[in-house]
């Protein structure tokens, strides 16, 4: 007949302790992997936010350079597209690392630029992709300077600037798994996109409680109508090196099993003590010692204090402050 061990919670088969330890090991491994996932997510969030901040800061520098060139060109004296005017425009373009060209616009067409000089036939501009705060914006506009040339352009007050094709080189190499879109706040005009940006949705941000494998970031400039949406995929402990995930799972399993084993041993010891205490009470296994009580003044014997003592079946002496509460909790003191 299979032996069973009785406890306050019912009868448990001998294999139940092993089952609990295995369950605790599995739970420990799961908890450890979840904790590791949180750490991975926090690490990737920091990296993604840092990259998004870098891109936004750089986009503000490029926008500031374009606005400065527009303002300075608009303030130049004298007739447009003269040799003197073109020379001044060239100086403006040379002074800005982020502006490729500066030109004049009239009647919806580019008349001249610092790089191309005076056009024999003004090059017409199509309707802008976006108008915001008095600026007309075009993204990758082809045909103005040749069929094979596409340029990002901005115009205001009869001046047009072309963004340098290398203006964003410093931030264009997105870290692995990341994608960034630089756009207006409403997402209707795209400035730039870097990395794996196909799945990036403008304005999408992650919840503070989200620990999923896709990380999201969203931030906007306070000076310009420019926002950055960033996304990182693969933020999962399961895509880390296999030995890393396996090591975490094994450590978690060992920790869970160790805790379960300690609890199991504690319960077994408590049940064993309780069973021995019950037998000691039933079989008069408790002993009494008497401690005299004397008056401090004359050492006269006033009485004695009876103290219970208990020695377990394996010879261990259990102090009263342990076995008395144990007896009281299990109703052995009545």
Give the residue extent of every domain in the chain: 17-240, 241-329
pLDDT score, position 13: 43
The CATH class that applies to domain 241-329 reads alpha beta
- List b or e across 157-169, with b for residues whose CB sees 16 or more CB atoms inside 10 angstroms: eebbbbbbeebbe
pLDDT score, position 1: 31
pLDDT score, position 163: 92
How does pLDDT run along the chain (334 residues), one tens digit per residue? Answer: 333 333 333 334 445 567 777 777 777 766 776 677 777 788 888 999 999 999 999 999 999 999 999 999 999 988 999 999 999 999 999 988 899 999 999 999 999 999 999 999 999 999 998 888 889 999 888 877 766 778 899 999 999 999 998 999 999 899 888 999 999 988 888 888 898 888 788 777 666 666 677 888 999 999 999 999 998 887 776 666 656 666 666 676 666 666 766 776 666 666 677 777 777 777 666 777 777 877 777 777 777 777 777 777 676 777 777 777 777 776 666 5
pLDDT score, position 249: 63
pLDDT score, position 125: 92
Rounded Cα gap, residues 31 and 257, in angstroms: 13
Rounded Cα gap, residues 211 and 308, in angstroms: 58
Report the Cα–Cα distance between both ends of the chain, in Å, rounded: 34
Structure tokens at 31: 């908890």
Strands 135-142 and 130-132 come out as antiparallel
CA nearest neighbour of 85 among 93, 97, 77? 77
pLDDT score, position 213: 76
Strand order in the sheet with 135-142: 117-124, 109-113, 99-106, 159-163, 150-156, 135-142, 130-132
pLDDT score, position 10: 39
pLDDT score, position 15: 55
Cβ neighbour number for residue 197 with a 10 Å cutoff: 18
Residue 250: what are its φ and ψ, rounded to 5°?
-65, -45
Residue with tokens 């290398």: 166
CA nearest neighbour of 162 among 218, 110, 197? 110
pLDDT score, position 247: 66
């Amino acid at each position: 007949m299979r032996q069973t061990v009785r406890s306050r919670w019912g009868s448990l088969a001998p294999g139940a302790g092993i089952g609990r330890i295995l369950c605790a090991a599995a739970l420990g491994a799961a908890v450890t992997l979840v904790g590791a996932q949180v750490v991975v997510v926090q690490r990737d969030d920091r990296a993604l936010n840092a990259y998004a901040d870098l891109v936004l800061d750089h986009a503000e520098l490029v926008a500031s350079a374009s606005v400065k060139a527009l303002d300075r060109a608009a303030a130049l004296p004298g007739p447009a597209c003269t040799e003197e005017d073109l020379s001044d425009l060239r100086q403006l373009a040379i002074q800005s690392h982020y502006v490729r060209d500066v030109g004049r616009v009239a009647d919806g067409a580019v008349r001249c630029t610092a790089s191309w000089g005076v056009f024999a036939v003004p090059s017409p501009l199509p309707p802008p992709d976006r108008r915001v705060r008095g600026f007309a914006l075009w993204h990758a506009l082809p045909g103005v300077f040749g069929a094979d040339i596409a340029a990002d352009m901005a115009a205001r007050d009869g001046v047009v600037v072309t963004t340098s094709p290398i203006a964003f080189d410093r931030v264009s190499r997105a870290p692995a798994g990341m994608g960034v879109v630089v756009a207006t706040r409403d997402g209707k005009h795209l400035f730039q996109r870097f990395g794996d940006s196909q799945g990036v949705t403008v304005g999408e941000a992650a919840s503070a409680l989200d620990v999923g494998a896709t990380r999201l970031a969203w931030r906007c400039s306070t000076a310009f109508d420019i926002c950055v949406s960033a996304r990182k995929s693969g933020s999962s402990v399961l895509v880390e090196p296999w030995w890393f995930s396996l090591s975490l799972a094994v450590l978690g399993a060992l920790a869970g099993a160790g805790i379960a084993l300690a609890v199991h041993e504690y319960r077994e010891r408590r049940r064993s003590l309780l069973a021995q205490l019950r037998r000691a009470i039933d079989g008069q296994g408790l002993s009494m010692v008497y401690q005299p009580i004397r008056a401090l003044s004359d050492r006269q014997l006033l009485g004695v204090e009876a103290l219970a003592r208990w020695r377990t079946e394996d010879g261990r002496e259990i102090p009263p402050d342990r076995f008395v509460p144990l007896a009281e909790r299990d109703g052995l003191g009545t």
